[in-house]
Amino acid sequence: MTQLLAARAGEITPAMRRVAEKEGVTPEFVRQGVAAGTIVIPANINHQNLDPVGFGRGLRTKVNANIGTSTGFPDPARELEKLQVVQSAGADAVMDLSTGGDIDLGRRQIIRASRLPVGTVPVYQAFLENRAKRGNMLTMSAADLFEVIERHCADGADFITVHCGITLEVLKRLKNQPRLTDIVSRGGSFLTAWMLHHGQENPLYEQYDRLLEICLKHDVTLSLGDGLRPGCLADATDRPQLQELIILGELTDRARAAGVQVMVEGPGHVPLDQIAANVQVQKTLCQGAPFYVLGPLVTDIAPGYDHITAAIGGAVAAAAGADFLCYVTPAEHLGLPTLEDVREGIMACRLAAHAADIAKGVPGALEWDRQMSAARKALDWDKQTALALDPRKAARFRQERNPDGHEACTMCGDYCAMKIVGQYLGKASAGC
């Protein structure tokens, strides 16, 4: 029985109880959200060491980190190091986007080592295996694709990104409304090339019921991918993107009817003033399904700083109702991220998520800030460090830039504003 079917039957599963405990809400609140489809708990029955996480309405905004090999860096050991950074930096989920080396081995190692929900994109491996075997990835058959999907689910992937909304009809709209950057989704580009080469419908759309059967068997959450997400501001919120989203809304209904949990992925590169509208349209068309967004990036001009452009967009999106943010690292658009890039990307994304949680009134969000303010007032540096989003970085900055035993920081030195005013308000004994 999947989490969704259990919730509809009135059963509170151990996973629901654990999510409720971590979120500070009641187990019944979680059960009702799962039953309605506004909360998902990606929890594959084959993922043995999973600490369940909930995504959706009324819960803390979650953060995903992408890792994975490439043809240039095929060593899975490197990605296991990144996984340790992902977990220590406070991400809520991780996706293995591997395209190089032994993809099966790397995925299985990541799932075994991860206490976080693990997502994958099976279509990558399906196409790449056909290229390796037959010299041309377009030789892939529907049977090949579903065999790889089954393999990922049997290995314990908790959620899978599947680009089911790219149809021949949608591609007609793409041809009729040319884009500046066309298709930037890797999975979306693979499927588009396959469909146009063969003149056949997307097998993930045409055989959607077959996909649902596999997910039902392993209790895998579908993450309906946005293969036509905009890759630049000029392409945002166009007809192909919205047509795909309409189809994803219909597929959301079918997944829920089959007892399969589902969330929906979103853009992409979006101007700041269009983000809230994008979230509202998704929530309306997809009946409140959890919304998983990449960024959104609010400008195209910041290579090296795209973790910041994504954090700006992510905060706006989450405040408007998005539930799950995919991190972007400083290396986005430039190359595979380093360990430090991964950490920086996670921290920027967590910052965006927390800012949105304050705006949404998520339990405990504002209290964290109140405690930090009290620690600053008291010049309690140890507590400030412990409460910091990134305690490691805060401790390093404090140690490197302030003399030992110095009460204030070197920004103000002897002229700490709170300390000066505190003396006149009779609060000097508190420190500042």
Is 227 within any annotated ligand binding site?
A: yes
Is 278 within any annotated ligand binding site?
A: no
Is 187 within any annotated ligand binding site?
A: yes
Is 314 within any annotated ligand binding site?
A: no
Is 286 within any annotated ligand binding site?
A: no
The answer to whether the CB of 167 falls within 8 A of the CB of 202 is: yes
Burial category of 411 from C-beta neighbours within 10 Å (exposed 0-12, middle 13-18, buried 19 and up):
exposed
Is 44 within any annotated ligand binding site?
A: no
Is 373 within any annotated ligand binding site?
A: no
Is 376 within any annotated ligand binding site?
A: no
Helices (H), 219-305: 239-257, 275-285
Is 186 within any annotated ligand binding site?
A: yes
Amino acid at the residue 48: Q
Is 5 within any annotated ligand binding site?
A: no
First vs last C-alpha separation in the chain: 57
Is 218 within any annotated ligand binding site?
A: no
Is 432 within any annotated ligand binding site?
A: no
Where are the extended beta strands (E) located within 51-158?
55-56, 62-67, 93-96, 118-120
Is 176 within any annotated ligand binding site?
A: no
Is 416 within any annotated ligand binding site?
A: yes
Is 327 within any annotated ligand binding site?
A: no
Give 380's strand partners: none
Q: b/e per residue, 313-352, with b = 16+ CB within 10 A?
A: bbbbbbbbbbbbbbbbbbbbeeebbeeebbbbbbbbbbbb
How far, in Å, CA of 227 to CA of 229, rounded? 6
Is 226 within any annotated ligand binding site?
A: yes
Token pair for 38: 């506004």
Token pair for 155: 């290995």
Q: Report helix angle 142-155 to 122-134, nearest 10.
A: 130
How far, in Å, CA of 172 to CA of 188, rounded? 15
Is 402 within any annotated ligand binding site?
A: no
Is 424 within any annotated ligand binding site?
A: no
Amino acid at the residue 54: G
Where are the extended beta strands (E) located within 272-382?
291-294, 324-326
How far, in Å, CA of 65 to CA of 127, rounded? 23
How far, in Å, CA of 348 to CA of 142, rounded? 39
Q: b/e per residue, 170-184, with b = 16+ CB within 10 A?
A: bbebbeeeebeeebb
Q: Which residues are annotated as a binding site for [4Fe-4S] cluster?
A: 409, 412, 416
The annotated binding site for substrate is made up of: 66, 95, 124, 163, 185-187, 226-229, 265, 292
Binding-site positions:
66, 95, 124, 163, 185-187, 226-229, 265, 269, 292, 333, 409, 412, 416
Known binding residues for Zn(2+) are 269, 333
